[in-house]
Copies of this chain bind each other. A is one copy, B any other.
Amino acid sequence: MQGTTQTPPQPDAYTPTDRTVPTRAAHKASYDRDLVHSILDEAYVCHLGFVRDGAPVVLPTLYARVGERLYVHGSTGSRPLREAGQADPGLPVCLTVTHVDGLVLARSAFHHSINYRSVVVHGVARDVTDPEEKRQALDALVDHVVPGRSSDSRPANRKELAATAVIRLDLDEVSAKVRTGGANDEPEDLTLPHWAGVVPLHKGYDTPVANHDLTPGIELPGYLTAR
């Protein structure tokens, strides 16, 4: 759309770096932007790693993607968010998202595996100080959990905004890793009398449970019944 482009055109793939090229099973690695986005957008929780007193810390946390930026939020009192705000230029982090899609049963114990899709993001998380960006990030965090929900809830007020820290991690040094398909046994094991194949896993939603104090007459919104 000539003349209306607001962001520079994105190449289709992230550029591999020393940290994003695996030492093994490199054929499972991908730098495809759409694949990375789809894996990130499907999960609810990421695992955020950072270093404290020289030792690693890994915490599960909500996140949201806005274009090529990831946002994580939390209390201004939480340690990683406080440290991201204080450190210059920010807090080195590794943010990882994983889906387990199936159990792979091989004839040999050695070739048992898991079908999965994962994304690993390396980078420096920075405190979001711009009020408009912070507001957009908080909306994205709510909409990441339930699309459309941010416009059907009370927005954060001044006190809540002040109590909430948001950090940003740019999608720059990123890789995906995917395993699909059946068991890969050694040729000499194929006739062993053990079953081999995949047990697919699935995730789903159960019927929503209304809060005990829900005002009578408030119906389940359409964005929930659609699931």
Chain A positions near chain B (C-beta within 8 angstroms): 19, 23-24, 44-45, 47-51, 54-60, 62, 75, 77-79, 92-96, 98, 100, 103, 105-110, 112, 114, 116, 118, 120, 122, 138-139, 141-142, 145-146, 149-150, 152-157, 160, 164, 182-183, 189-215, 218-221, 224, 227
Sample (25) of A-B pairs whose CB atoms are under 8 Å apart: A44-B114, A47-B47, A47-B96, A49-B58, A51-B55, A55-B122, A56-B56, A56-B57, A60-B96, A60-B98, A103-B145, A105-B145, A107-B153, A109-B150, A154-B194, A183-B211, A193-B218, A195-B218, A195-B219, A197-B214, A200-B206, A201-B203, A202-B205, A202-B206, A203-B204
Which of B62, B116, B139, B209 is A198 in contact with, Cβ under 8 Å?
Answer: B209
Nearest chain-B residue to A77 (Cβ)?
B24
Across the interface, which residues of B come within 8 angstroms of A221, CB to CB?
195
Across the interface, which residues of B come within 8 angstroms of A154, CB to CB?
107-110, 189, 192, 194
Which of B108, B195, B227 is A156 in contact with, Cβ under 8 Å?
Answer: B108
Which of B96, B142, B206, B218 is A109 in contact with, Cβ under 8 Å?
Answer: B142
Smallest distance from the beta carbon of A122 to chain B beta carbons, Å? Answer: 7
Q: Kindly report how many copies of this chain are found in the complex they form together.
A: 2
Check A116–B60 contact: CB distance below 8 A: yes
Nearest chain-B residue to A220 (Cβ)?
B195
Q: Give CA–CA (A98, B59) in the complex, Å.
A: 9
Q: A60-B96, A78-B23, A92-B56 are in contact. Are A155 and B109 (CB under 8 A)?
A: yes
Which of B23, B96, B160, B199 is A208 in contact with, Cβ under 8 Å?
Answer: B199
Of A51, A54, A183, chain B has the most CB atoms within 10 Å of the CB of A51
Across the interface, which residues of B come within 8 angstroms of A120, CB to CB?
57-59
Smallest distance from the beta carbon of A210 to chain B beta carbons, Å? Answer: 4
Check B96–A59 contact: CB distance below 8 A: yes
Across the interface, which residues of B come within 8 angstroms of A60, CB to CB?
47, 96, 98, 116, 118
Check B54–A92 contact: CB distance below 8 A: yes
Q: Give CA–CA (A213, B213) in the complex, Å.
A: 56
Check A224–B209 contact: CB distance below 8 A: no
